Amino acid sequence: MSGAPPTQTAQGTKGPRTWQGVRAEVLRRIRARDWPPGTMIPNEADLARELGCARATVNRALRDLAEAGVLDRRRRAGTRVAATPVRRAVLQIPVIRDEIAAQGRDHGYRLLSRALAAPPAATAAALALPEGAQALHVRALHFADAQPFVLEDRWIAPEAAPGVLDADLARISANEWLVRHAPFASGTLSFGAVTADAGLAGLLDCAPGTALLRLDRTTSDGARMVTAAALTYHAGYRLRTTI
Amino acid sequence: MSGAPPTQTAQGTKGPRTWQGVRAEVLRRIRARDWPPGTMIPNEADLARELGCARATVNRALRDLAEAGVLDRRRRAGTRVAATPVRRAVLQIPVIRDEIAAQGRDHGYRLLSRALAAPPAATAAALALPEGAQALHVRALHFADAQPFVLEDRWIAPEAAPGVLDADLARISANEWLVRHAPFASGTLSFGAVTADAGLAGLLDCAPGTALLRLDRTTSDGARMVTAAALTYHAGYRLRTTI
DNA sequence: AATGCGAATATGTATAGACATAACGACTAT
DNA sequence: ATAGTCGTTATGTCTATACATATTCGCATT
């Protein structure tokens, strides 16, 4: 339910004086419609008194539920059950090699092309590059047990990733190099579907016209844009998560 | 950076004695490669002493970074910078009506079919229905400003959603009815791409063969499976998030 | 060497108390 | 009426302290 699976335990297994217990009790009341959507719930101090625990414990529980989108909290205004429950699902975005290894399959990798070039306008804008500036363009294919898994098409701003021009991207994927050398960047992510043209179909070993999942990602190190990548997955690939 | 946008503030704007300040400082050291991936970082007590704050404050900051996938924490073993950074992206899954309204467009809705029937084997399994049991099958189309937005194809287990058989699903979408009457359920979510066949193309107003994003969702109220839904979005739809 | 056990240790969590901060609402001055 | 002020209130956060719990490590025993 929360955005933090690591702290998640089976609901109700914890005593009521733990924050997980308080969370379970509040969630129970919401699901039992004691507190229907839109309702104001008692304030932290009252709940703490009622449940026989400290206010900080109630705060921890309610904060967790608010992060999950179950509650709306505002200072002074109090806490209410979300009327329009925008649920939050946490996607795990692993390094491609790790994702494949986690399935118990062998990761293979082939660099298709590597060149300095002026990116298309949309990419240049995404990387905040000046007019006519060049960037490193890398195309590579990742394999799982010799089957094509995902096509990586990436532009990298060289000044924002010092050393990348000297990296041996035939041996280590740009995905992995960046993770090691510019870790923990922030950015945007978007999903869509694309139709395989002849080129894509050949690379990903599917029929032309097949629908493929595509993930576009931009990455910034907090100050500068580092890279913009398009990942096109093999036919049938599904991205899974729990809510 | 973290999985909890609500608690997010501009990094570095908070003083160093707040948990956000501690988080910013730790993140700075990681990005500056003072603490490269895999490194053990000082324990909470030492960090608290160094930064001049209480251990609880450091704990709050490090817990947040662990939830974001930046740190790995284990009791007794200590805290280390994640070697293989599995980043967590938070997807916001709004009610369809709200998603369209948030774009400033008008939400339209048309019920295509509604019938009690025995679901296909895969769906029956997903809903944990006994052999041959019937479920409510609803197909409906959502519009944004009269343009087809998403096709909702849903099976609902009637015993798990009391009252649904009497609901006027021509007026209120099953999506919304469920949100109101069985709120805050948990479940699974998966994304994929599908090719528009003639039927889909007609409904979603695109050419046959177009690649479409599809979201499959199962929902449980904690005890029983309530519904399994497939949402097929219009051509060009993109699901966006930040990381 | 392998095994089992207990001590040490880092994180996880609960608590009481305090102050910070945002925002609602009433009251006041224009 | 309207705008500004200020007290009240609920959440947000920090602190110090204590105890819980999971692991790891070293030591002793087999």
CA distance B112 to chain A (A): 25
For chain A, domains (ranges, CATH) are: 5-81 (1.10.10.10), 96-233 (3.40.1410.10)
As a rounded value in angstroms, the CA-to-C1' distance for B101 and D2 is: 34
Q: In this complex, is the C-beta atom of B54 within 8 Å of any C-beta atom belonging to chain A? A: no
pLDDT in tens, B26-59: 999 998 889 999 999 999 999 999 999 999 999 9
Q: In this complex, is the C-beta atom of A17 within 8 Å of any C-beta atom belonging to chain B? A: no
More confident residue, B148 or A15: B148
Kindly determine whether the C-beta of residue B54 is less than 7 Å away from any atom of nucleic acid strand D. yes
Min mean pLDDT across A100-109, B68-77, B182-191, B201-210 is at B182-191
pLDDT in tens, A50-68: 999 999 999 999 999 999 9
pLDDT in tens, A137-169: 999 999 999 999 999 999 999 999 999 999 999
Kindly determine whether the C-beta of residue B17 is less than 7 Å away from any atom of nucleic acid strand D. yes
As a rounded value in angstroms, the CA-to-C1' distance for A221 and D16 is: 37
Kindly determine whether the C-beta of residue B57 is less than 7 Å away from any atom of nucleic acid strand D. yes
DSSP string, chain A: --S-GGG---TT-S-TTSHHHHHHHHHHHHHTTSS-TT-B---HHHHHHHHTS-HHHHHHHHHHHHHTTSEEEETTTEEEE-SS--EEEEEEE--HHHHHHHTT--EEEEEEEEEEEPPPHHHHHHTTPPTT--EEEEEEEEEETTEEEEEEEEEE-GGGSTTGGGS-TTTS-HHHHHHHHS-S-EEEEEEEEEE--HHHHHHHTS-TT-EEEEEEEEEE-SSSEEEEEEEEEPTT--EEEE-
The predicted pLDDT at position B104 comes to: 95
As a rounded value in angstroms, the CA-to-C1' distance for B73 and C3 is: 29
